[in-house]
């Protein structure tokens, strides 16, 4: 089994995430939403805050922000993700949530619109990472906050590391995660690199802290379902298994779970996350916003 490293085009990205949306919403979002609540608990987001969730999935940051009273716009390139986010908002009676299909590298939103723009394991997956963060900075008011949360090292993402270990034990020749270059979810594992990317997008007062996302799995089967639905790469890993190999991988994981939890079938796995924030400063005098690598703050966009 091999793992591709070249990012696919926009249409393929949209199709892949549309396909994963039902499983992602069922298995992945409950974990990431709990972490989203944890991340936002340390912010000043409250009633009236204008909040943007970029590459929102089915609402891991958008819905916790809305519960705190924020006026939320959530965008994602995959229509199926947007539909599920909107359905979650309706089910909770969260009326101030706008869920829109939109490419995060080309936000069709006005400059200086939001108090906080955030992305959880979203913008880090963009083919053009710098443009994605620059767009978040553009639509955030000067003095506001841009927040980007992304995976730390793969070995500290236990739900992935455990699955890779079980696959290597059960599947001869399983390649695992490529290291050079790493897959997109792990391109910002170095806090210094993450900070540099935010500064390159024109953000000031950049800070990066580490936080732990705890993921409680009831069984090894639930873990494999989560891996299958969390990312196209994980879907490829599981789809490539025969029924016998799947059973073997599950048996290995069950043993690891029992060891972690003292004999119980489930376990809590831990994932280190890098959480970065920065502050837009407005358009510096004399800057050429038409120069390559710059995104003009002053050009109009439709709401």
SS (H, E, C) 52-70: EEECCCCCCCHHHHHHCCC
Q: Which of 40, 32, 102, 106 is nearest to 67 (CA)?
A: 40
* Residue 300 pLDDT > 60: no
* Residue 287 pLDDT > 50: no
pLDDT-derived band at 6, boundaries 50, 70, 90: low
pLDDT-derived band at 295, boundaries 50, 70, 90: very low
- The confidence score (pLDDT) of residue 299 equals 40
- Whether residue 227 lies inside any domain: the answer is yes
- Whether residue 287 lies inside any domain: the answer is no
How many angstroms separate the CA atoms of 181 and 244, rounded? Answer: 32
Which is more confidently placed, 297 or 21? 21
- Whether residue 295 lies inside any domain: the answer is no
pLDDT-derived band at 5, boundaries 50, 70, 90: very low
> Cα–Cα distances in Å, from 139 out to 79, 103, 116, 160, 262?
22, 14, 9, 33, 49
Q: Where are the beta strands (DSSP E) in the chain?
A: 50-54, 71-76, 97-101, 114-120, 140-151, 203-217, 267-280
- The confidence score (pLDDT) of residue 283 equals 56
Cis before residue 181, ω within 30 degrees of 0? yes
Q: What percent of the chain has pLDDT over 70?
A: 90
- The confidence score (pLDDT) of residue 175 equals 84
- The confidence score (pLDDT) of residue 42 equals 80
- Whether residue 216 lies inside any domain: the answer is yes
pLDDT-derived band at 134, boundaries 50, 70, 90: very high
* Residue 288 pLDDT > 60: no
- The confidence score (pLDDT) of residue 253 equals 97
- The confidence score (pLDDT) of residue 9 equals 80
Q: Is the dihedral of CA 226, 230, 235, 237 positive or negative?
A: negative
* Residue 193 pLDDT > 60: yes
Rounded to the nearest angstrom, the gap between the alpha carbon of residue 125 and the centroid of all alpha carbons in its chain is 7
- The confidence score (pLDDT) of residue 179 equals 82
* CATH number reported for the structural domain that contains residue 64 in this entry: 3.40.50.150
pLDDT-derived band at 178, boundaries 50, 70, 90: confident
Q: Is the dihedral of CA 256, 213, 87, 134 positive or negative?
A: negative
* Residue 4 pLDDT > 80: no
- Whether residue 209 lies inside any domain: the answer is yes
- Whether residue 303 lies inside any domain: the answer is no
- Whether residue 297 lies inside any domain: the answer is no
- The confidence score (pLDDT) of residue 145 equals 97
How many angstroms separate the CA atoms of 3 and 42, rounded? Answer: 36
- The confidence score (pLDDT) of residue 154 equals 94
- The confidence score (pLDDT) of residue 3 equals 43
267 forms bridges with which residues in the sheet?
217
Q: Which of 18, 4, 64 is nearest to 39 (CA)?
A: 64
Instruction: Dump pLDDT digits (tens) for 26-63.
Output: 999 999 999 999 999 988 999 999 999 999 999 999 99
Q: State the burial class of residue 79 (Cβ atoms within 10 Å of its Cβ: 0-12, 13-18, 19+).
A: middle
**Number of domains within the chain:** 1
Rounded to the nearest angstrom, the gap between the alpha carbon of residue 260 and the centroid of all alpha carbons in its chain is 27
In this structure, which long-range contacts are made by residues 227-233, counting pairs with CB atoms below 8 Å and at least 24 apart in sequence?
227/159, 227/160, 227/163, 228/23, 229/20, 229/22, 229/23, 229/24, 229/26, 229/27, 229/28, 230/20, 230/24, 230/27, 230/28, 231/20, 231/185, 232/16, 232/17, 232/20, 233/3, 233/4, 233/183, 233/185
Q: What mean pLDDT value characterizes the chain?
A: 91
Boundaries of domain holding 258: 10-280
- Whether residue 290 lies inside any domain: the answer is no
Can you tell me the mean pLDDT for 126-137?
96
* Residue 2 pLDDT > 50: no
Can you tell me which residue has the tokens 């966009």?
A: 301
How many angstroms separate the CA atoms of 76 and 202, rounded? Answer: 23
């Amino acid at each position: 089994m091999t793992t591709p490293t070249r990012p696919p085009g926009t249409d393929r990205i949209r199709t892949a995430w549309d396909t994963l949306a039902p499983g992602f919403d069922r298995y992945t979002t409950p974990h990431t939403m709990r972490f989203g609540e944890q991340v936002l608990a340390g912010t000043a987001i409250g009633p009236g805050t204008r909040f943007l969730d970029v590459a929102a999935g089915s609402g891991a940051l958008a819905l916790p922000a809305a519960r705190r009273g924020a006026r939320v716009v959530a965008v994602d390139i995959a229509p199926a993700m947007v539909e599920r986010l909107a359905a979650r908002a309706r089910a909770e009676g969260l009326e101030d949530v706008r869920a829109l299909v939109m490419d995060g590298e080309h936000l069709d939103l006005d400059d200086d619109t939001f108090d906080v723009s955030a992305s959880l394991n979203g913008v880090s997956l963009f083919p053009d990472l710098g443009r994605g963060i620059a767009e978040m900075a553009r639509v955030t008011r000067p003095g506001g906050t841009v927040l980007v949360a992304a995976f730390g090292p793969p070995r500290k993402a236990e739900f992935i590391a455990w699955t890779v270990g079980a696959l290597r034990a059960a599947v001869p020749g399983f390649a695992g995660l490529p290291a050079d270059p790493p897959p997109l979810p792990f391109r910002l594992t170095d806090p210094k690199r993450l900070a540099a990317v935010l500064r390159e997008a024109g953000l000031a007062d950049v800070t990066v802290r580490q936080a732990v996302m705890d993921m409680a799995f009831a069984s090894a089967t639930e873990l494999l379902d989560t891996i299958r639905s969390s990312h196209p790469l994980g879907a490829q890993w599981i789809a490539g298994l025969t029924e016998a190999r799947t059973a073997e991988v599950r048996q290995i994981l069950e043993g690891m779970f029992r060891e972690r939890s003292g004999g119980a079938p489930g376990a809590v796995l831990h994932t280190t996350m890098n959480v970065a924030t920065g502050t837009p400063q407005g358009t510096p005098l004399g800057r050429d916003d038409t120069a390559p690598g710059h995104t003009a703050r002053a050009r109009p966009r439709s709401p």
